[in-house]
Structure 1
Amino acid sequence: MRSPVQNAELALLLEVTGTPKPGNVDRHREYDDLRFEHFMAGAVGSIPGLILAQNGAAVGRAFERSVVGMAEQSAGNTQFGALLLLVPLVRAASAHDDFSAETASEIARSTTVDDACDFYRAFEHVDVAVNDPPSGMDALDVRLGSRAEPTLRERELTLFDVMEQSAEIDGVAREWTQDFDRSFAAADWIEKNDGPVSERAADAFIRLLAAKPDTFIVKQHDEATATEVSERADKARAGAIDPAALAEEFIRRDINPGTTADLTAAALFVALERGLSV
């Protein structure tokens, strides 16, 4: 029987092997500066931080250590958002016999100011695509890294509070504040589907992408592009567009639904923890 850490690593590996995932790196498609091997190395590198989560360490500390290990491969940021989802999920799976969306949400909601400080510190290890902060929020720009700590402590902001402030514009933050609902729903799809798990993961990815615009695409491009991508993913689901052709096009256009990939990795972890056979 695999441990939560082993299931988290396997989830990261299965996510990147799934194909086609329009716009994402998979075993058939890469970007010039972001390759399949980088994601495999990032998954392996994240293990020390995931072990911390499994052993009961604070979420922020475990996350920052996971990011440090992930970033040791030459491409830098490969799975930042996925790890931000996986760390509380691993913590919940390790701490509760009744692993569920509710117990994962309990872990997220019990985070502290120290967790928020460690989360900000994680941004010092990799470049992460983020929007400029809203007016008046410059002191909480995540790009400040540890320099934001005085403000976090002064305002007594926990990591959950930080996620709440970003939930409207960031799909990973929204998962934290909405009981990881999309991750658990996609896990249901994966479990109920059949065939190789990597293919089920790719199907879940397209379903997630079709259901809601990807917030990373909004940051990378704009809302109109994100909406277009979702509409075309829906057509691919319906068989009106070849998913493989769509994947090739999105790679050419540098359209990367990174948040959807993060959710897919989280869904795979949930399904594996609930007994998905691989």
Structure 2
Amino acid sequence: MTLTRQQVRQAYIYACYQEIEALKPGNVHRFADGHRMTAQQFLASAQVSAASISNRALSVGERILDAVKATSLKVGTNTNLGILLLCAPLAKTAEMSAGDLETGIKATLQSLGTEDARNIFDAIVHARPGGLGSAPEHDVNDAPDVSLLEAMGAAADRDMIARQYVTGFSDILDGGLQAHMAATDCGEQDMWPTVFVYLHFLSNFVDSHIVRKHSVAIAEQTRNEARQILDKVRGIRDGREREKLLLSFDARLKAANVNPGTSADLTVACLFAFKLNWLLHNGHVNA
């Protein structure tokens, strides 16, 4: 089966809300705001951008640009550019595919052309993400003359979101979903599968947002500490003790103004993919 607009919309909001509910060190969550942003801003952003992300009449690029503009009007800051860049292709795929997302996402990505690139470049400029700077080729401040996939390919070695476009979202649809499944198979409930997904990304990859705002060295240091934290969390069964450990890491990162924003974006996309896959196989139950 393919999914309705309402199913896609609800899955997107579900993913955004679940991510904010989880204690993600260094990022904004219900336990602690940070980086001059609040959890409420992210929840409002999810609501206001959901209509664009689930709008079948729009191309992937149009969805992203419309959602960025709607978010800016609502909250006045960039809370979700990375989320939108990842979730719009997944939404499009879920509307077209009758099977798993993995079987359709590459076709969706291959179909993205110069007009999608133009809209997405405009969205990036409009959102003004921190630490963007300039690029040696296909700079977002210039009109694109290539397909979106080619433009993303030029940035894939330095940006985890661009990397998803050229790898068929493999880090999300393979690694991220595997981390989610492993957590649930171990009996993790409530926010903890989301926490483990976030720590999976943070401990396995240098966070692109940290690299742009600080340096590769700081991103590597954060990844190494995240690996240690992940190992410790796995060995603790008491939820409150886990929270203390994570909140301590959270405070250290925020005191240094280190925001693993890309890891959070990948987490939302993973939760969105999880929900969409579930609906593709079980959506008739709640249709």
TM range (shorter): 0.7 to 0.9
Contact 1:45 1:71 in 2 (8 A): no
What CA distance in whole angstroms lies between the structure 2 residues aligned with 1:191 and 1:8? 19
1:38-62 deviations in whole A, cap 9, x for unaligned? 101111111221122xx15311111
Q: Normalising by structure 2, what TM-score?
A: 0.85
What CA distance in whole angstroms lies between the structure 1 residues aligned with 2:190 and 2:133? 34
Q: Structure 2 stretches of 5 or more lacking a match?
A: 234-241, 283-287
Contact 1:188 1:271 in 2 (8 A): no
Matched, 1:44 2:47: yes
Deviation of 1:219 (Å):
0.4
Counterpart of 2:275 in 1: which secondary structure?
Answer: helix
State the match for 2:14 in structure 1.
Answer: 10
Deviation of 1:133 (Å):
1.5
Q: Normalising by structure 1, what TM-score?
A: 0.88
Q: Structure 1 stretches of 5 or more lacking a match?
A: none
Matched, 1:191 2:181: yes
What CA distance in whole angstroms lies between the structure 1 residues aligned with 2:222 and 2:10? 33
Matched, 1:71 2:72: yes
State the match for 2:98 in structure 1.
Answer: 97
**Residue identity in the other structure for 2:229:** A
**Residue identity in the other structure for 1:189:** A
**Residue identity in the other structure for 2:95:** S
Contact 2:81 2:124 in 1 (8 A): no
1:219-242 deviations in whole A, cap 9, x for unaligned? 010000000000000000111892
1:16-73 deviations in whole A, cap 9, x for unaligned? 1111x11100101112621111101111111221122xx1531111111111122223
The aligned length equals 261
- The partner residue of 2:151 within 154, 159, 162 is 162
1:69-117 deviations in whole A, cap 9, x for unaligned? 2222334100100110000000001111113224112101210111111
Identity %, equivalent residues: 23
State the match for 2:222 in structure 1.
Answer: 229
Contact 1:92 1:99 in 2 (8 A): no
State the match for 2:285 in structure 1.
Answer: none
**Residue identity in the other structure for 1:7:** A
1:168-201 deviations in whole A, cap 9, x for unaligned? 1110000111110111121232234233342211
Contact 2:9 2:54 in 1 (8 A): yes
Contact 2:183 2:192 in 1 (8 A): no
Counterpart of 1:72 in 2: which secondary structure?
Answer: helix
Contact 1:47 1:69 in 2 (8 A): no
1:254-275 deviations in whole A, cap 9, x for unaligned? 1001110111001001111222
What CA distance in whole angstroms lies between the structure 2 residues aligned with 1:269 and 1:15? 10
